Amino acid sequence: MSVARTDARAVQAAGVQRLVDSYRAIPPDATVRLAKPTSNLFRARAATSGKGLDVSGLTGVLAVDPEARTADVAGMCTYEDLVAATLPYALSPLVVPQLKTITLGGAVTGLGIESASFRNGLPHESVLEMDILTGTGEVLTASRDQHPDLFRAFPNSYGTLGYSVRLKIELEPVKPFVALRHLRFRDLDELVATMDRIVDTGGYDGTRVDYLDGVVFSADESYLTLGIQTATPGPVSDYTGQQIYYRSIQHDGENEKHDRLTIHDYLWRWDTDWFWCSRAFGAQDPRIRRWWPRRLRRSSFYWKLIAYDQRFNIADRIEIRNGRPPRERVVQDIEVPIARVPEFLHWFLDNVPIEPIWLCPLRLRDNNGWPLYPIRPDHTYVNVGFWSSVPVGPDWPAEQGYTNRLIEAKVSELDGHKSLYSDAYYGRDEFDQLYGGEIYKTVKKAYDPDSRLLDLYAKAVQRR
């Protein structure tokens, strides 16, 4: 039986109407954007004037159907709110991206990933149908049977084909606890080989593995974390206070370390310290952390600090005051075939002074693939995430993005792709080859014939 509130449906309907009205009120030559207080994009965006699209009323969970294991969700609903609505039924989205304020619509039109992706693919693959406000101002329902061209091209389109206002997604049953096994490796090739076997078999040492990711601290210190759901009660760790999750992974001596979390805390284990990026704000210094309010130890607050830095160029001013040039932001997630991962990691560690590095294997569920992010079905890829800054390149300021360009070239050399949530420097021809090309242009013309929405290349690469 579907569990829904009548008022949630009414709020949704009113919200869709406000969204459509606000879209139609935007002049044809004006930039269309969402009027939302948060973002998980690191891409440079030019300042815009005027009102954005009104998304109020599009933030809730409309219904949870425990029997069918589905949820009807507004497009701007955060995963934090979605998980809060599904866990009481011992259900979870198939893939829960790592940060609480990522929205379901954002994870579908962009790309989300997490430690269940080796068995459940990417978030958009669990979408059964979605209502999309297209460039014509119409709200269309897209699924594998209705407007299938839009349905398949929507993932990785970043709002350039429209905005999702409602999504119906699959859920999966979950148990109340997750037992963790942190395996230490002193050789990256061995780590990747072990990861590959777990993905292929779904288990390790005869035990089913439900979640799988890894962290590389150096060439001779890396870890795989295996998560196994369990209903067995017992003590659990808490990494929302003084203890820091990623530091708990590290250990000497024995090759394996055990831990336990509630399913809720497991899903959000990375959010408290934004993986390890909270150290840039001093939040991992015990002297500061003791006084840092728990409610502000979360990714959404760190985003506000980043916004202040970008607005006032605080970090660059500090560098200049100390007689150093500004630093280049290198905040990226890339995917390469698992066989090429050791080569990429060794190259990265030799050329880019950033650590730790996050690893997350993925395998598409849908054998038909997704044209705007054409990684191959029936193949295992590994997401490599690295988020920091490095000294600017030798040709700065004449050439921007020296290290990012090196990474893009290496990823292409290894038959990989990278997500478009951050800075990109591709030329138009290479971009079209990597991100949909003619398929994208055909769908764009069909659902945004007057180009009311930005082109994907313009949005992801070009500076405006």
Q: Is 293 a residue whose pLDDT tops 50?
A: yes
Is 279 part of any domain?
A: no
Number of domains in the chain: 3
The answer, yes or no, to whether residue 464 has pLDDT greater than 50, is no
Are 236 and 160 in a shared domain? Answer: no
| Angle, in degrees to the nearest 10, between helices 402-413 and 341-351 | 160
User: Residues 359, 383: contact at Cβ < 8 Å?
Assistant: yes
Q: Under a CB-based contact definition with an 8 Å cutoff, are residues 363 and 121 in contact?
A: yes
**Are the CB atoms for 360 and 114 separated by under 8 Å?**
yes
- Both 151 and 39 in one domain: the answer is yes
Average pLDDT over residues 185-212: 97
Residue 68 sits in the same domain as residue 181: no
Q: Do 183 and 83 have their domain in common? A: no
Residue 154 and residue 205 in one domain: no
453 falls within a domain? no
Based on the domain organization, do 22 and 79 belong to the same domain?
A: yes
**Residue 94 included in any domain:** yes
Q: Closest Cα partner for 19 from 155, 122, 162, 213? A: 162
In angstroms, rounded to a whole number, what is the distance separating the alpha carbons of residues 133 and 142? Answer: 11
CATH number at residue 201: 3.30.70
Distance between CA atoms of residues 359 and 168, nearest Å: 29
Assigned token pair, 452 = 């009311």
pTM, entire model: 0.94
- pLDDT tens by residue, 237-252: 999 999 999 999 999 8
CA distance 403 to 320: 20
The span from the CA of 364 to the CA of 381, in Å, is 9
Q: For the domain that residue 167 is a member of, what is the CATH number?
A: 3.30.465.10
- Are both 40 and 169 inside the same structural domain? yes
Which residues have C-beta within 8 Å of that of residue 163, sequence separation ≥ 6? 19, 34, 53, 75, 105, 109, 132, 133
Question: Is a pLDDT exceeding 90 seen at residue 52?
Answer: no
Residues 135 and 220 in one domain: no
Residue position matching structure tokens 């030799």: 350
Q: pLDDT digits over 95-138, tens only? A: 999 999 999 999 999 989 999 999 999 999 999 999 999 999 99
For 239, the domain range is 177-269
Same domain, 265 and 372: no
Asked if 154 and 83 sit in the same domain, the reply is yes
Same domain, 27 and 138: yes
- 82: in domain: yes
Q: Is the dihedral of CA 256, 262, 263, 265 positive or negative?
A: negative
109 & 133 share domain:
yes
Give the whole-number percent of the chain exceeding pLDDT 70: 92
What DSSP line would sit under 120-157, residue for residue? H--GGGGEEEEEEE-TTS-EEEEESSSSHHHHHH-TT-
First to last CA, the chain: 49
Structure confidence at residue 6 (pLDDT): 62
